[in-house]
Chain A
Amino acid sequence: MSNKNTLWPLAVFAALCFFSRPGAADTLQLGIYAPRLPFPDNERRVAWAQRVGQLLEAQSGLSIQARAFTKSSDLLAFVDAGRIQLVLADPVFLVEFPHRFSALASGTGPEGPSPPYAVLVPSGYMGEGINPLKKERLALVDVGRLEVALLSNLSFEGLINVVDWFGDIDWVTDLSEATNRVTTKKVRATLGYASVGRKSGLRISVRLRGIPLPMLAIVRNHIDDDVVTVMNSAVDGTGLSLPPAGPLSRLIPADPALLPRVQAATARPPGKPQPRRPVWSPSALQSLDRNYPVTRRRKVPLEPPLRRWRRPKFPKTGPGRGLVSK
């Protein structure tokens, strides 16, 4: 967390922007906290945030004002102050305060809602896997206190504890800074979305399990149900296109399993995988093992009496029969 102080001008700017907006009480305030998305500078981050707010506003018909945050604590302060009703935030932030937010939509993009993560190394680095990186310096985005557990248990699937495996860790405010540090060889590697690393000219050393993109959530008890309905309908159906930012390009209805998965991963100590449930040994498809040979009976039932009774006729009487002999 040594670079936290470098972001304070951004926070001040954001705060000024917030307080300068007239009629704030009628406008929904959207706080955006997405440190894993790559922005070259804060200005572009704010601009992107505003465009997101405009899109949401246009789509929902509500008055929405977006505000970008670079520190989770700032966002939390705004939330605590009741000045933020909507957030578009990293899932780690959301699961850190599970009772305060309710997810409305999941961020997604060409690689899905959980784009693959990766160990990103400088382009000239030739090592494969994390073994060569053991005890090497690492840059990580400071998303929240659960980030280590998330990376160890979700991305590395519990194979390692990131903190134990690597050497010193440089905590940075966003992924751009992390990649910059790798590029400038201040660190040996960083962990981030593989696609972002590729665009940044880094090499993907290890492909890891994906980490969910930011999610749109409401701040519980700070928003009317009608508004929730409107927001839901805004992202319903085919979703809502966002201005692209790294792997994020759309909002879609929230995947209810997404946060629990993140939550489960972050709940365990880092490097401690959830033991897989044993695999059931299925029964083989049983054959009947019994034949039922059919035989021809060779017999047609001739049913009696066929209604073919014969009624005899009496012989002729009278002259033709002959006379009574005297």
Chain B
Amino acid sequence: MISRANIRCFWLCLVLVTSPLQAERVEPNPSEREYALAIQFISQAKQRGNMDSRAGRAALTAAVDHLKTALRLDPNYVRAAILLGEIQLIRGRSDAATPTLQRLHRRFPTDQRLTYLLGVHFFRLNQYSKGAPLLAQVIANDATALDARVLLARYLYRQKKYRKSLELAESAVALDPKDADMFGLIGNIHLRTARLRNAAKAFRRVLQLRPTSIPVRVNLGTVLFRLGEYRRASELYEDVLAKSKGNPALHYNLGSCYYQLKKWSQAITQLSVYLRSYDEDSKAHYFIGRAYAGKGLVREATNHLARATVLDEKNPWAPFALAELAYGNNDLDTADTFAETALQRASNEPDILILAGMVARERGDFPRAVSRLEAAIPLAATSEIPRRELGMTFAISGRTNDAIDNLEAARTLATSDMLVSVWLSISRTHRALDHIDAGRHQAAQVDLERAIEVNPGALEAIWNLVLLHNLHEEPASALRVIQQALGHQAQNPDLHLLAAWTLARMGRMLRAQERLKFTQGAGDSGLRWMIQGAVHTYLGEFTAARIAFIEAKENGVDLGSALTVLELEQAADWLGKGKLDRALDLVVRIPQNIAPELQRVRAGLFACALLQTGKSLKRVPSLLQTMRTGPLPDGFGLARLARDTHLVTGWALYRYGRDEEAEKHLRLHLEGKPKDPVARRLMATVLSDRAERLYARRKYVRAERALDEAQGYVGENPRLTHNMAVIRHHNNMKSSSSVFQTLSRSDVVPEATLNWGLYLEDVSKRLNTAASLYRRYLKTPGIAAEIARNRLSRRQRVFGYEQ
């Protein structure tokens, strides 16, 4: 189509072409005269308004006649043919112009003007296929051929050859930067090719050149809408509607913008206006229905969406919206019906499949839910939603492994989807607990660590991982987990409680106590009491500790042996402070049906108390036997006693005269510690006592052997030497008396003095010497003083005076 602007261009060209002719000085031939006359009539026509007045049209007709005459006179008169073609273009008589122009174009094919004019006339005659090559030829040979570019660009746009059209349009606006039409064409091309930002830019340029253009505003509004710039689009539409009322489509567009901006009331207003004109528009009903839904007006929303569903029986979104609406109102049956309706209309729409799956899941129909959601996955391969919903469905239906697989896949697609993170974390935690129940702690740890990784605030996962680390006696690892978690939720009382507990387990009681200050509101008060009990025990506040432990027990905490340990601690404390009787009473009260390890501790403390009080030493051997049944826990200071159990047992048995058993235990002790001086001394004593008994029974050989062994343990010992002489006295009085005499010189062995005296009296009849020895013996703490006293008194009694 040739516009008025083009025609004005032709006139300009005509003036430029004709002006030089008027300067000819050579006498013109007849054809040129006709040409000159035509020029005169063209001038008259111009003065008289050309085609706008009868006189102008008459002048142009006269000019045509003269030019035809000229061409008759000279058929190859190209200038006349061009001028004729241009006048016919003005007169809209392309059919009359084209034969002449075609004839001359064949003769002069390189003539640019002729080619261009012929191309334009072909376009006038809608013979675009003939005109387009001619215009392309002109453009190729003339970089400034603006009109040819404009014409060809528009033609190619209509032919949907957008790339070529865009090139020509852009070259045209380069030649004429104020060509609003060409910018409009560029905008449209971009709009068609979905280069929305470029389109918006072009339309904005048009509006700069032509600010009042309503279509361009509408177009720009469309582009902005599609760009999601609903607010700016709505402003444009509002502006257009303010200037040009009555276009329902604009209300539709504006309503759509409001809809997108969730300005439900305004959207409803605009769409209602539109629907007054187009009540059969299903899309308008759909949007207004959703706007009503957005506003919470379910009945109106349902009415419009139902109407949309009926009006367009192929569109799935209205039933989809109805399904969503029913789902939102927990009307699952209705939701299911509409979701299935939507699916029948569009079985490959992932959103519909997802909603259908969700509705089925909520109705407990897990197989159908899984089927729908699995169908949605390939259709929305880049969306995490179907995998997320499928994972959630599996999680709810107890298929934890499948849940985790799908939630992990969803997380790969959308790391920031919190719903995925939360569900994945919980599913991992569930599986970890299953692993723990089955004893697969390593696998449980992996799951819990991943649960925390995807959701650092997952308290249950943190809690369980900390417990697991504690179960493995890895308190440092547990503490690390807690510290990391506190980095995300520093005020969480449960985390502080875990920290306190772990620190208490590590024996860092003061730090645990510090942490307890932050556990206000923690979920596990039993555990809190437990820690308080441990801290009180550490501080030696046993009554408070006992109360705390009882509270913990009442709150469901399995105390294990804590109360027993507390009592053992208290007993140890009292023993350490010398409160022996209280310690002894407490130890006696501790029941014996406790853990074997604690039984050993109890036995050890009991034995220590008895050893320190000196009471009931008879019980010590059996206590130490209990102590020896296994290893002792660290602390309590019982390690030394544990090392010496045989020694102490031997000593206690010796104290109670059970020398044979004492000897057995001492030998066991000496096997391990052959150089223990206390044990050697005790052993020598026990052997010496045995020798004494044997001597009393006149078993001299065995007595001598026992005493010999005793000497082996303590070496040369005056008492043993003396007693050896006592044993040997029966068959060698002289030798043994010599020993008695030697030893009697000191009081190391008092009995030596007595025995020497007895020998002197009984054998040597040296009564006076013997008497002096008896008297000396009486001054020493000799236990056989009665003998000396008897001997002295007998002498006094029988003889009457000392001999």
Q: Which residue numbers of A lie inside 8 Å of B, CB to CB?
A: 127-132, 156-160, 206-208, 273-283, 285-286, 288-290, 292-315, 317-319, 323-324, 326
Contact = CB atoms under 8 A, between A and B. Distances in A.
A24 to B, nearest CB: 48
Contacts of A324: 324, 351, 354-355, 358, 385, 389
Contacts of B385: 324
A306 B540 contact: no
Interface in B301-336: 317, 320, 324, 327-330
Q: Which 6 A-B pairs have the closest CB atoms?
A: A129-B800, A297-B635, A275-B762, A281-B751, A312-B460, A128-B800
B684 to A, nearest CB: 8
Contact of A281 (B473, B722, B763): B722
Given A156-B798, A324-B324, A283 B458 contact: no
Contacts of A282: 689, 692, 783
Nearest to B583: A294
B740 A278 contact: yes
Contact of A319 (B329, B545, B566, B636): B329
Contacts of A301: 560-562, 565, 633
B692 A302 contact: no
Contacts of A286: 651, 654, 681-682, 685
Given A279-B751, A312-B458, A326 B351 contact: yes
Contacts of B783: 282
B798 A326 contact: no
Given A296-B569, A311-B430, A283 B527 contact: no
Contact of B540 (A292, A296, A305): A296
A295 B797 contact: no
A273 to B, nearest CB: 5
A208 B330 CA distance: 125
Interface residues of B, number: 123
Given A288-B651, A310-B463, A279 B557 contact: no
Contacts of A130: 798-800
Contacts of B558: 303, 306-307
A269 B733 CA distance: 19
B220 interface: no
A249 B572 CA distance: 67
A294 B562 contact: no
B282 interface: no
- A130, A276, A290, A312 interface centre (most CB from chain B within 10 Å): A312
A324 B325 CA distance: 11
Contacts of B467: 304-306, 308-309
A324 B417 CA distance: 13
Interface string B645-662: 001100100110000000
A281 B635 contact: no
Contacts, number: 250
Given A302-B501, A309-B436, A131 B794 contact: no
A294 B637 contact: yes
A222 B164 CA distance: 166
Contacts of A283: 685, 688-689, 719
Contacts of A277: 726, 729-730
Main secondary structure of the interface of B (DSSP, over half): helix
Interface of B: 317, 320, 324, 327-330, 351, 354-355, 358, 361-362, 385, 389, 392, 395-396, 419, 422-423, 425-426, 429-430, 433, 436, 458-461, 463-464, 467-468, 470-471, 473, 501, 504-505, 507, 509, 524, 526-527, 530-531, 533-534, 537-538, 540, 545, 557-558, 560-562, 565-566, 569, 572-573, 575-576, 605, 608, 611, 633-638, 640-641, 644, 647-648, 651, 654-655, 678, 681-682, 685, 688-689, 692, 695-696, 719, 722-723, 725-726, 729-730, 733, 736, 740, 749-752, 754-755, 758-759, 762-763, 783-784, 787, 794-801
Nearest to A134: B799
Given A206-B798, A273-B762, A319-B328, A294 B560 contact: no
Main secondary structure of the interface of A (DSSP, over half): loop
A113 B750 CA distance: 36
Nearest to A303: B560
Contacts of B430: 311-312
Contact of B470 (A285, A290, A305): A305
Given A277-B729, A290-B644, A319-B329, A309 B433 contact: yes
Given A278-B759, A302-B505, A326-B320, 9 more contacts: A129-B799, A157-B794, A208-B798, A283-B685, A289-B678, A294-B638, A308-B524, A310-B459, A314-B423
A297 B572 contact: yes
Given A275-B733, A302-B530, A311-B429, A294 B576 contact: yes
Nearest to A298: B538
A307 B531 CA distance: 16
Given A159-B798, A297-B635, A275 B354 contact: no
A312 B787 contact: no
